[in-house]
Amino acid sequence: MLDREEARATAGVRDGGTGRPLPLKVAVPLALVAGLALLAAFPPYGVWPLAPVGVALLAAAAHRRRLRAGAGLGFLTGVALFAPLLEWTNLHTGYLPWVLLSLLQAGYLALLGAATAWVTPLADRWRWAWPALTGLLWVGQEALRDRTPFGGFPWGRLAFSQDSSPLLPLAALGGAPLVTFAVALAGGLLVAVAWRPWQHQAGQWRPVAGLLAALAVVLGAGSAVPVGVRGGGDSVTVAIVQGNVPRLGLDFNAQRQAVLNNHVDATLTLAAQVAAGAQPRPDLVVWPENSSDIDPLRNPGAGDRISQAADAIGAPILVGAVLLGPGEGQVRNAGLLWRPGSGADLDQLYTKRHPVPFAEYVPLRSIARAVSSEVDRVRSDFVAGTHPGVLDAGPAVLGDVICFEVAYDGIVRDTVTGGAQLLVVQTNNATFDVAEARQQLAMVRLRAVEHGRAALMASTVGVSGFVTPDGRVTGATGFNTAAVVVRQMQLGDGRTPATRAGVWPEVALAALAVAALAGAAVLRRRREAAPD
């Protein structure tokens, strides 16, 4: 099949209006470079302009191809992007989970490549539609990848590469889907400019000028969007405690007492600094996910240590705890408010709603065990919570999400519509690396802009930090180190257009993507029915 593609492409010029795709000897390297360009747009590299470039290269490689060839090129782009982007998943679990996850994610870009090839008749017939088609297909692909299988895996969305981009403010209008659409639209404009063989004839450069002007408008659109805290409210002083762990790796939970002690001792040190006037007294202290993997509700020693810290600092502590139950052999990954003087406030308890499949629970365990015995590292399945993480801490109403949940639009949005004035992400990066932590912090930046809320990320080992409602990071900590950071944060009580719109921008864009695929089918049938 690929040989036929090669012969068909090299029989004429690359484009020249002949309806031929790029030669495969050009398209294959373009697809690989597309994946690497997309990779470089994400943290820790953060070269955000390369995201539209990667989109453009894949669009050019798949244009006018047969469906299988388009899928193959999309898959190459996906492997080049996801294999290095998700490399942190193999640090302590072996290569198999990393390879399987990377190939699964690449499969969605294979679908994107096939879809790009499929809509070729539309792009060829209406050149100005090509950028919009590119944007719609990317949103549709991400909408599918974010939800399937087992609840999806939204890591590597185009929007999450734009934490320092002028496109980031668009999140306040339509959330991550609108930012993804804008990035892919810009990529579509690039390929539309570069594709046709512009000749030095009168009027030939007008379309180029128009497309370049449209590209400038897309990139500058974010500057017109107002960002910042929505509504208004008091300011609160918040302390992040990053206690660190004795050793990175999966055995961090074998060091449970040491990890808890680290967070208690760091809080006691902060209390001493407050008493000495060296630090302001916080209204709230946030500990990260897994800061107490000893259930403090059932282990009096653990509970006493947390009470010691809360009483000393004189402020409630949001503790990341692993709680036993509710059933036999079940556990919960929870954010639990611990108040000075009274201890655990069971009315302010959030249980993680989206446990990570094959890490916090094992779906299809018998089948998964046949693939890898590593699944038996997960001895007890984490139970999913049923309510949004809206916690009334007293000084502020918190929107708590845990670890990877920050990547899921609805889980974060539900806390804001539930009354959250401040976004909190509790995470544990001890089994990963600094690249994963920085990718996660980029998501927090987008969420802060999307909902007009100040936000913070508290990690056991870093990177922790505060994020302003316009997406700026302050007080970022180092990785694999202990740290305590105190900042004043403004509370919000209003809603952005993105918060109000909810999932509907994504639904509308994905529906248009489906309509484009249907429209391309109509054109293809007409072409096949046309007399020779």
Secondary structure in 3-state letters for 55-103: HHHHHHHHCCCCHHHHHHHHHHHHHHHHHHHCHHHHCCCCHHHHHHHHH
Tell me how crowded residue 120 is: count the other CB atoms within 10 A of its CB: 21
Q: Specify the higher pLDDT residue, 105 or 531.
A: 105
Query: What tens digit of pLDDT does each residue of 376-422 get?
Result: 666 678 999 999 999 999 999 999 999 999 999 999 999 999 999 99
3-class DSSP state for residue 116? helix
Neighbours of 135 (CB within 10 A): 27
Active site residue 403: yes
**423 φ/ψ angles, rounded to the nearest 5 degrees:** -95, 135
Shortest CA distance to 46 belongs to which of 85, 100, 90?
85
pLDDT at 13 (0 to 100): 35
Query: Residue 363's pLDDT is what?
Result: 74
pLDDT tens per residue across span 151-199: 999 999 999 999 999 999 999 999 999 999 999 999 999 999 888 655 4
> Considering the entire predicted model, what is its pTM?
0.92
Percent of the chain with pLDDT over 70: 89
Q: Is the pLDDT of residue 369 over 80?
A: no
Closest to 431 in 3D by CA, of 363, 351, 360? 360
The pLDDT assigned to 90 comes to: 76
If pLDDT is split at 50, 70 and 90, which confidence band does 205 have? Answer: low
- What does each C-alpha distance from 63 to 57, 130, 142, 274, 433 come to in angstroms? 10, 10, 20, 63, 37
Question: Counting runs of H as helices and runs of E as strands, what totals does the chain give?
Answer: 16, 13
Tokens of 440: 């996660």
State mean pLDDT over 280-293: 97
Give the active site residue among 142, 289, 436, 450: 289
What is the structure's pLDDT at 204? 60
Residue 10 has a pLDDT of 41
Considering 142, 352, 436, 450, which one is annotated as catalytic? 352
| Coil, strand or helix at 16 | coil
pLDDT bracket for residue 9 (50, 70, 90): very low
Of residues 348 and 96, the one with the higher pLDDT is 348
Pick the catalytic residue: 403, 405, 436, 450?
Answer: 403
Give the count of alpha carbons within 13 A of 448, CB side only.
29
Determine whether 289 is an active site residue: yes
Respond yes or no: is residue 87 known to be catalytic.
Answer: no
Please check whether residue 489 is in contact with residue 456, taking contact to mean a CB–CB distance below 8 angstroms: yes
From the number of C-beta atoms within 10 Å of its C-beta (0-12, 13-18, 19+), residue 434 rates as middle
